[in-house]
Amino acid sequence: MNAAWLPLTTLLTSLLAAVVIFTLPENARRLRTSANLLAAVGKIILVGLMAVRVSAGHEDTFSFQIVGNVDFVLRADALGVMFAGLSSLLWLCTTVYAIGYLEGSANRKRFFGFFSLCVASTLGIALAGNLFTFLIFYEMLTLSTYPLVVHAGTQKALDAGRIYLRYTLSAGVVLLLGAVLLYALTGEHSFSSEAGLGNYLADHRGLLLLIFALLVGGLAVKAAMVPLHGWLPRAMVAPAPVSALLHAVAVVKAGAFGILRVIYDLYGIELSVELGVTTALAVMASITIIYGSLRALAQQELKPRLAFSTISQVSYVVLGVSLFGPFGTIGALAHLLHQGLMKVTLFFCAGNYAEELGVHRIDEMDGAGRRMPLTSLAFTIGALGMIGLPPLAGFITKWYLGVGAVQAQMYWVVAVLVASSSLNAMYFLPILHRLWFRTGPAHGQGQWPKEQRLGRLETHGWLLWPMVFTALASLGAGLLAGLPFSPLDWASRVAYGEYLP
């Protein structure tokens, strides 16, 4: 039985939320908050329903014809539901956080409206059933994130927005060209078709390579792969919840997810290996991983350091994809989820330090563990996870990636993983040291840059609890990785579906 309404309704919940928020007046704070939370919770339930349906073997599809050979298709398959689950879960957390973060500031209606649109686009990307549909939501994501990046309305924010558009819109044009070339070559090509593009290999090898380069080149901009990463550190001027969502889920993951779709569902992994593109991709990803870590090491402020860390971490996903074999794939997919959870935690923490204490620079963080223990604990969990310490979530993905590299006989990848982990340790451990072992304003030495007492606990409750939740989730994703419906379990399900027909 095909429940076509399910993917459609899931998409419409956040679209509808956006419309409702735009029609409400600016100062209807209560109503807006209720609409936001209602939609977020409703969407989690719907995505949960989809997950149950997928594990029961259904693939709910909604489609209609747009023109000749082009259809609009939403399909709930295992990979899509995985990404949808991540984005809807983090949407709820980030919404709660954003409500607390933007308390009393201007233009909240605009913010939450575009925020909902942004999540709707992410969900559309997750559920898109063919390249055309994917493209629609991919560009929608670009447009709906722009107002969030420039939200502050300052010169710096507007400049960042301009850079962001320059990168993403050019990438969109490249992607569009690749998509049109592919459609002209093959006609309608659904992500769910088993055939892959192997039939075209004999006659159109060059064209297939060109199309691959265009598609992945276009997607790599959003995935912030070096040298196309320039927009991301600048986009840090956005409010903290936006950084959290952009970096953990929406934009960068959309790019990485698109690369997954291209390799697994469009070209097919065998063809990609045959064309030799996976090796090239692995090299690019490795360069990005090392370069991102090195740049992160050089940053003196917290948010830019996290941004460069994102650049490095997202390429783990791409690296895993380009290792031929189930372990690499599982590592890639699981990292998509794990990195999302950990990074969102870290950005929430950064936002809390900035809001409560006015701390932006790393050398101002001395002794903050005493003043804000929960936040610092969450930060520690996130940071150690990023480094890949067992039994945290990050360890599991690095382990799978390493095994995958050995299986694919690409031993140099192991060296990259080791180097990257040590670099991660080099830029995260000093922060942890400052948090817990140095003495600072909390011990009576000096003052915080701009301290506010936002709540009864260490900070405002709306800021605190989402962060605690995501920290626990990233802890749980590692500890309970063996349970059904854990990120690792779901990633394995997708991977075996890909390799074992």
Q: Looking at beta carbons only, is 218 or 369 nearer to other proteins? A: 218
CA distance linking residue 62 with residue 176, whole number of Å: 23
Taking every pair of Cα atoms in the chain, the longest distance, rounded to a whole number of angstroms, is: 74
Q: List, as one string, the DSSP characters of 348-407.
A: HHHHHIIIII---BGGG-TTHHHHSHHHHHHHHHHHHHHHT-TTSHHHHHHHHHHHHHHH
Residue placing its CB nearer to other proteins in the complex, 143 or 275: 143
Nearer to other proteins, 101 or 490 (CB): 101
The H or E element spanning position 76 is none
Would you state the structure tokens that stand for residue 382, as one six-digit string? 């996130």
Instruction: Kindly tell me which of 179 and 396 has the beta carbon lying closer to other proteins.
Output: 179
Q: What's the closest the beta carbon of residue 137 comes to other proteins, in angstroms?
A: 8
The CA-based angle 103-109-110, given to 5 degrees, is 115
Contacts to other proteins from residues 72-111, by CB under 8 A: 72, 106-107, 109-110
The window from 179-187, 223-231, 294-302, 441-449 that contacts other proteins (CB under 8 A) reads 179-187
> Rule CB under 8 A: is residue 70 a binding residue for other proteins?
yes
Nearer residue to other proteins within complex by CB, 106 or 415? 106
> What is the nearest approach in angstroms of other proteins to the Cβ of residue 143?
6
Stretch that binds other proteins, among 65-73, 326-334, 389-397, 401-409 (CB under 8 A): 65-73
Of 210 and 297, the one with the shorter C-beta distance to other proteins is 210
Q: Specify the residue, 37 or 181, whose C-beta has the smaller distance to other proteins.
A: 181
Rounded to 5 degrees, what angle do the CA atoms 152, 157, 163 make? 145
Cβ at position 192, least distance to other proteins in Å: 21
Residues in binding contact with other proteins, number by CB under 8 A: 41
Residues 134-173 that bind other proteins (CB under 8 A): 135-137, 139-140, 142-143, 146-147, 150, 152-154, 157-158, 161-162, 165, 169-170, 172-173
Structure tokens at 87: 């984005």
Q: Is 184 in the site for other proteins (CB under 8 A)?
A: yes
Residue 1 is a binding residue for other proteins (CB under 8 A): no
Distance, CA of 85 to CA of 246 (rounded, Å): 16
Q: Which of 31, 38, 52, 66 binds other proteins (CB under 8 A)?
A: 66
- Distance between CA 16 and CA 27 in Å, rounded? 19
- Which amino acid, residue 182? L
Q: How far is CA 347 from CA 42, 303, 328, 339, 414, in A?
A: 25, 7, 27, 12, 28
Q: Is 195 helix (H, G, I), strand (E, B) or coil?
A: coil
Query: Considering the complex, what minimum distance in angstroms separates the CB of residue 181 from other proteins?
Result: 6
> In terms of C-beta density within 10 A (0-12 exposed, 13-18 middle, 19 or more buried), how is residue 270 classed?
exposed
Closer of 41 and 209 to other proteins (Cβ): 209
Strand partners for 361:
301
Specify the residue, 147 or 233, whose C-beta has the smaller distance to other proteins: 147
Rounded to whole angstroms, the Cα distance separating 325 from 9 reads: 35
Rule CB under 8 A: say whether 31 interacts with other proteins: no
For residue 314, the minimal CB distance to other proteins (Å) is: 24
**Contacting residues toward other proteins, per CB under 8 A:** 22, 64-68, 70, 72, 106-107, 109-110, 132, 135-137, 139-140, 142-143, 146-147, 150, 152-154, 157-158, 161-162, 165, 169-170, 172-173, 176-177, 180-181, 183-184
